[in-house]
A and B are shown apart, each in its own frame.
Chain A
Amino acid sequence: MEFAANVTFSALVQQILVGLSRTTILFIVSSGLSLVLGVLRIPNVAHGSLYMIGAFLTYTVSNLFGHTLAGFFIALLIAPLGVALISFLVERCLFCHLYEREHLMLLLFTFAFTLVFGDMVKLIWGSDYRSLTVPAFLQGSFSIQGFPFPRYNLFLLIVGPLVALGLWLLTNHTKIGKIARAAAVDREMVGAVGINVSWVFAAVFVIGCYLAGLGGALVAPTQNITQGMDHSIIIEAFLIVIIGGLGNIWGALLGALIFGLTDSIGILIWPQFAIVFPYVAVVVVLFFRPRGILKSTW
């Protein structure tokens, strides 16, 4: 238990790599949350539930194809789209009538959805633990200077930057991205110039929820797919969004990096008290930057 007893250079590199792959999941989920927060101003507590549904859908679709490599990638494609479809229906039928309400109302409303989605998952999939097998190609691990590094984590390290790139292209180089950014700053003005804000909001909400589903799909093979996985992620995602700056996607990236890396390095340096490291990091950040590291859209 001595402080930093086992820290060697190669162990540290290893922990950073593992931490970065965790960061990928955290970034994907919290960027979606941040997008919805920034543009729609909805603190979507049900974001974690959509992440859970994404994981369950991945499990089901992947099993339909019988654990083949193609089946797994089809599941990675379909499951987040399924989540996006659910969120589209929810947005068009319910949320779009509530944008003018105060945040507390919206918070309660999305909280109600966590309960509804939670029970829905219980009805459909039951309470047994589920475990998804990755295709043989992604099983096992590489050895980096004597330490194992799971192949699947390497896959996550590739996916993470791709998603970040996609988000950057979307927000900076597409019309809808530009409108969304404008709407985040001043939604009345965007409406006043003749843009149908309602449909922009719907699109952004669906993209944000798609990211929750994608996070759930990517995490499915490494986790126990079970009820309750929504609670743990939503707390972390909100913390990340808050330290990054509400509504700022790149803030979510920074926040995820801080959270993921302090977690994995803390585990190496002081394993007995590792749990507190990311939370201490959050406190330190908020102490110096109470409104988050990057500019908040709120």
Chain B
Amino acid sequence: MKKAIWFSLALVLVFSPMVNSAQAAKAIKIGIVDCYSGPPATYTNDVRDAFKLEVDKINATGGILGRKIDFTTRDSKFKVDIGLSAAKELIYRENVDILMGTINSALALAISDLVKKEKIPFFATFSKSAKITGEKGHRYVFSITENTALAGKAGAAGLAKRPFKKYWIAGDDYEYGHALADGVWTNLKQLRPDVELLGQSWWKVGEPDFTPYITAILSAKPDAVIIATGGRDCVPFLKAAKATGFNERVPFFMHTATELSTLKPLGLDGPEGVIGTSNYFFYFPESDANKQFVADFKKAYNREPAVGAVYGLLTAKFIAQAYQKAGKVNTNAFINAVEDLTVDSPIGTVTMRACDHQATLPMFMGVTKKVAGYDFLTATDIVTIPGSEVMPSCEEIAASRK
């Protein structure tokens, strides 16, 4: 009798993990590593929330290939080591099929290295380094967001149409700021060889007061200024610009100036006439697809979606439709299916280019203005710069990867 009990216990112990894993295999598992603490969270929450919205929609209609999508998040705290160990944990212990996330470019590149070895697809959702799909790109990494090279090219294309000659460059003294400024300037120089650079100023990330920088720039009397700053520094820079009347004295281009995360906190105190670029506005494009998306997002989260929401939505769509296209849950078949896949979105159709795994996103250049009906400034006179116009050619990508 005793023997029988021990034997059956042993049987249960041996087989129970199998039962578990058989159940787990039914869901497609996605791991998100991103910074959810500190200032970057204002951007990353939108990625996760829009992703969840789309995943819930897919699951409600039966999932993909009869499987549900299941995702878990990990907070990287904006630190490369914490994020990388979270990514490892998701791969080895949670056995995720796909990784996505990170607003931190250094972490995106580190995870990219990891997934290359582990052969797990990774979707970079908010990292702006051009290296991710440029020189450091490979089969397992995808980018769903614009990067410094694309933004630089788009900014230069917009500025070249304006009559400015003497420029000043100012920005965050770290990789993003310098890469963005270089991107704008080298492209602008090609389009308009007569432009002249009067000088540059660089400040530290988290600079508390921009007034002395602005007054110093004014004393150089440039025609226009390129501001290469991002994230949390956008808001105080625009405040200082407004307080000093900088925007009325000198026109300036600031890549993310028109984004909701920047303009909403400023309310009606934002400076008018600032030129900015973004992949998305909840009020533009004025298509039915966008209106529907905004309504759904607002219903679920009681706020308007910012640019990150589109990155989250696109990632969910690419994953779901690629599995559908592949017809089976297999990494190689999945990657082949993502390549050249085109999905519908609030910003029109978006294609994942096969040669570099960079999503071809349109860029919208607009000028900040007070518009009736909003209690914050919005972008007006929006010009759409199609993704195909600013993407580096496949030959350039191939050359950079050598």
- A positions within 8 Å CB-CB of B: 1-2, 5-8, 11, 14-15, 18-19, 21-22, 25, 122, 127-131, 133, 139-141, 147-153, 219, 221-224, 226-229, 231-233, 263-264, 267-268, 271-275
Chain B residue contacts of A129, Cβ below 8 A? 39, 42, 232, 235, 261-262, 265
Within 8 A of A (CB), among B252-267: 261-262, 265-267
Beyond A11-B215, A15-B215, A148-B215, list 19 extra A-B contacts (CB 8 Å): A6-B199, A21-B211, A22-B209, A22-B211, A129-B232, A141-B244, A148-B214, A148-B245, A221-B239, A222-B239, A223-B239, A224-B234, A232-B206, A233-B208, A268-B212, A272-B200, A274-B203, A275-B173, A275-B202
Chain A residue contacts of B345, Cβ below 8 A? none
Q: Is B208 touching A219 in the complex (CB atoms < 8 A)?
A: yes
Within 8 A of A (CB), among B206-248: 206, 208-209, 211-220, 232-236, 239-240, 243-246
Q: Is B235 touching A131 in the complex (CB atoms < 8 A)?
A: yes
In the complex, A147→B219 CA distance in Å? 8
Tell yes or no: B269 within 8 A of A by CB: yes
Q: Is A150 touching B216 in the complex (CB atoms < 8 A)?
A: no
In the complex, A267→B200 CA distance in Å? 10
Q: How large is the interface on B (under 10, 10 to 19, 20 to 34, 35 or more residues)?
A: 35 or more
18 contacts between A and B (CB under 8 A): A1-B199, A22-B208, A128-B42, A129-B232, A131-B266, A133-B269, A139-B243, A140-B245, A152-B243, A222-B243, A224-B233, A224-B235, A224-B236, A228-B38, A228-B206, A267-B201, A267-B216, A275-B204
Q: Which single residue of chain A is at the shortest CB-CB distance from B233?
A: A224
Q: Give B80 Cβ to nearest chain A Cβ, in Å.
A: 17
Chain A residue contacts of B232, Cβ below 8 A? 129, 224, 226, 228
In the complex, A148→B239 CA distance in Å? 14
Chain B residue contacts of A25, Cβ below 8 A? 208-209
Q: Which single residue of chain B is at the shortest CB-CB distance from A269?
A: B216
Q: Give B383 Cβ to nearest chain A Cβ, in Å.
A: 27
Q: Which single residue of chain A is at the shortest CB-CB distance from B262?
A: A129
Q: Is B216 touching A15 in the complex (CB atoms < 8 A)?
A: yes
Chain A residue contacts of B110, Cβ below 8 A? none
In the complex, A19→B41 CA distance in Å? 32
Specify which of B45, B206, B216 is in contact with A229 (CB 8 Å cutoff). Answer: B206
Specify which of A148, A149, A271 is in contact with B213 (CB 8 Å cutoff). Answer: A271
Q: Which one of A11, A14, A129 has the highest number of Cβ atoms from chain B below 10 Å of its Cβ? A: A129
